[in-house]
Amino acid sequence: MSWLSRMGDWLDTRTSYRTFLAHALDEPVPGGARWAYIWGSVLVGCMTLQAITGWAMMAYYAPSATTAWASVEHLSYCVSGGWLVRGLHHFGAQAMVVVVGLHLAQVAIFGAYKAPREVNWWLGLGLLGITLGFSLTGYLLPWDQKGYWATRVATNIAGTVPLVGRFVQSLLQGGPEYGSLTLTRFYTLHVGLFPALLALLLVLHLLLFRKHGVTPGARANMFKVDRFYPAQLAKDVGGVLLMLVVVAVLAFREHGAPLDAPADPASDYPARPEWYFLSLFQMLKYFEGRLEVVGSVLIPGIAVAYLALLPLIDRASSRALRSRFLYLVPLFAMGGAIVALTVMSVRADRRDEAFQKARVLAGKRSEAAMTLAKCGLIPPDGPLAMLRRDPETRGTALFQEHCASCHRLGELGPTPQKATAPDLTGWGTAEWAMSMLEDPDAAQRFGQTSYKGEMISLVKPPADPKKAKTFKPMPEADRKLIVAFLAGEAAEAKDPQHDAQGAKLIAQRCTACHLFRGQTDDDDSAGPELAGWGSLAWTRAHIANPGTNTTYRADAMNPERKGHMPRFDDKLEPDDVNLLAAWVRKKARGGK
């Protein structure tokens, strides 16, 4: 007898492990081993993968609003193999949702919910609910834009539940605002409560499965009986290995898991849930206002009730699919609806130009955050403070929040057809000024604003036939002198020759409408001050309050004028006004 056998005998005397293994491996499989039976084992494999990778990430994760994103970024980009661990966990979670759905579908088709297996069916539904709970709570933990805004959507939906909704929402949030308490509570659910419930339900599920045994398909050859080992075990192991290969390929292809920019409650982010919640998201589009509760509570509630009552509803004597088809029609309809709504949501987003543009901008913000983080610029007060102190990122965010609803600048802002203020691309350059002199009513200038028709083109005759007879276009040489002067003012680069000649022409030709160095021929005119036009001081003053003689002064003349640009010094801090002014001037000139 070898030393290995003696050691085995010694251990078996004290633990009876051989009896346990024999009981586990010698289980009969009526009808023979089948690939259809692998989903339970594959699901256990997913859970094991999630537990191992989750424990590894817990060693680096710091659950607070100021540290969560930075700790995930550090794990993804600084820890050796950290990106792979996150990738396996991320795609393993998605695989877990798919596998639990396939497992329940297989159980339903085989009729394995029928007596005496009703309780095990209900335990399976509980495992499905916990799996979705894992996905929902884990989504928030990186504390990035995608997870933060998707969680706000989810908790707002929870708040629509009659009677208890507001309480549940407040309980999840940890208070009136989303912050560190929200993150801590989701973290507690994700690594504390849900794993304990999962372990309990899984143990009970497996015990009842062993008690009642495998449920063979209606067409299975009942004269054939395999043992779990080796026939079915080989198929189960093959299924688990295939799942691991698929998850690993996805993790390597994406080089880990996505990480968006740090969560910013003040930003405008195009929030979408993960793909397995898109069907619910799409359905809610059809139930707005008071009907929202129908899509968020009533229809999902009916679906859950149907699944829970299915073993009690289906009284067919046979497990054959044909005899139970009517009972399973709602299940097939639910599956079809989920697929159809998901596809509709994806297609709608692909056709949504504004959404796609917002996604591009969100991607650039994410790239900026990663660049700053890799440079070691995350301050003690968190990554959001890092972004807000970065002039480029902060300027983009300020423009998106306060300017992009009316103005277009490069890729930012509304489409040219929907803009309600001049396009600022190229603003402050000679080309932009020339286009304003030649065609001020163009769509990119004042053509889609309340100022359309107020500035006269210096090239094209007016529409009024009487005025057109006496109209004389300004010579091109004079126009070039004027725009050279204006471009010099905007660039704050003085040219004595252009200053003298351009200023003289402006004083002669433009002061009937415009202020120039505080002077005008018409005190009731609304044209902006042209001295210093486009300079940093002019831009700063215009953003702070355009209704003064420093820049546009239209508010001073007519405060109720519709379409006039509002003041922002009562909305923004002085430092933000200065930063936005500098950013707009830089971006308008192509970043120079």
CA distance 319 to 113: 10
CA distance 563 to 580: 21
Helices marked H in 254-390: 278-284, 292-293, 299-313, 321-351, 353-374, 383-389
CA distance 156 to 134: 18
What residues contact residue 106 under an 8 Å CB cut-off, 6+ apart?
36, 39, 112
Q: Phi first, then psi: give them for residue 374, nearest 5 degrees.
A: -65, -20
Residue 152, in any domain of the structure: yes
What residues contact residue 335 under an 8 Å CB cut-off, 6+ apart?
105
Residues 86 and 222 in one domain: yes
Distances (CA, A) of 552 to 176, 341, 433, 455, 486: 41, 50, 16, 14, 15
What residues contact residue 126 under an 8 Å CB cut-off, 6+ apart?
197, 201
Instruction: Write down the pLDDT at residue 391.
Output: 85
> What is the reported pTM?
0.79
CA distance 14 to 25: 20
Residue 222, in any domain of the structure: yes
Residue 93, in any domain of the structure: yes
Tens of pLDDT, residues 68-86? 999 999 999 999 999 999 9
Residue 24, in any domain of the structure: no
Residues 105 and 246 in one domain: yes
Instruction: Write down the pLDDT at residue 363.
Output: 86
Contact 62, 187 (CB under 8 A): no
Residues 54 and 194 in one domain: yes
Q: How would you classify residue 426: left for phi > 0, otherwise alpha for psi between -120 and 50, otherwise beta?
A: left
CB atoms within 10 A of CB 36: 14
Residue type, 226: D
Instruction: Write down the pLDDT at residue 376.
Output: 74
CA trace torsion 151, 395, 261, 267 (10° rounding): 0
Residues 123 and 254 in one domain: yes
Number of domains in the chain: 2
Residues 471 and 561 in one domain: yes
Instruction: Write down the pLDDT at residue 164.
Output: 83
Contact 307, 125 (CB under 8 A): yes
Instruction: Write down the pLDDT at residue 379.
Output: 82
Tens of pLDDT, residues 262-291? 998 878 788 888 888 899 889 988 988 888
Residue 367, in any domain of the structure: no
Residue pointed to by tokens 């799996």? 131
Contact 280, 345 (CB under 8 A): no
Instruction: Write down the pLDDT at residue 301.
Output: 92
Sites in the chain below the pLDDT cut of 70: 1, 216-225, 375, 495-499, 523-526, 554-563, 591-592
The tally of CA atoms less than 13 A away on the side-chain side of residue 330 is 14
Element (H, E) at 93: helix 82-110
Question: What crossing angle do the helices spanning 574-588 and 391-402 adopt, rounded to 10°?
Answer: 90
What residues contact residue 145 under an 8 Å CB cut-off, 6+ apart?
260, 261, 262, 263, 264, 267, 269, 362, 365, 366
Domain boundary among 298, 329, 351: 351
Domain boundary among 351, 377, 394: 351
DSSP 157-218: HHTTSTTTHHHHHHHHHTSSS-SHHHHHHHHHIIIIIHHHHHHHHHHHHHHHHHHH-----T
DSSP 234-279: HHHHHHHHHHHHHHHHHHHHTTS----SBP-TTS-------GGGHH
Residue 363, in any domain of the structure: no
Residue 199, in any domain of the structure: yes
Instruction: Write down the pLDDT at residue 557.
Output: 45
Domain boundary among 323, 351, 379: 351
Q: Which two tokens stand for residue 572?
A: 């923004």
Element (H, E) at 29: strand 28-30
Distances (CA, A) of 87 to 42, 52, 248, 306, 321: 19, 13, 8, 35, 39
Question: What crossing angle do the helices spanning 194-212 and 39-58 adopt, rounded to 10°?
Answer: 160
Residue 581, in any domain of the structure: yes
CA distance 178 to 265: 8
Instruction: Write down the pLDDT at residue 497.
Output: 62
Residues 324 and 435 in one domain: no
Instruction: Write down the pLDDT at residue 350.
Output: 92
Helix (H), strand (E) counts: the chain: 25, 2
Contact 446, 457 (CB under 8 A): no
Residues 345 and 433 in one domain: no
Instruction: Write down the pLDDT at residue 218.
Output: 56
Structural domain for 566, as ranges: 421-588
Element (H, E) at 30: strand 28-30
Say which CATH number the domain at 336 has.
1.20.810.10
CB pairs under 8 A, 24+ apart, for 283-288?
Answer: 283/341, 284/157
CA distance 436 to 434: 5
Residues 331 and 455 in one domain: no
Residues 342 and 431 in one domain: no
Tens of pLDDT, residues 51-67? 999 999 999 999 999 99
Residue of 456, 488, 484, 483 lying closest to 471 (CA atoms):
456
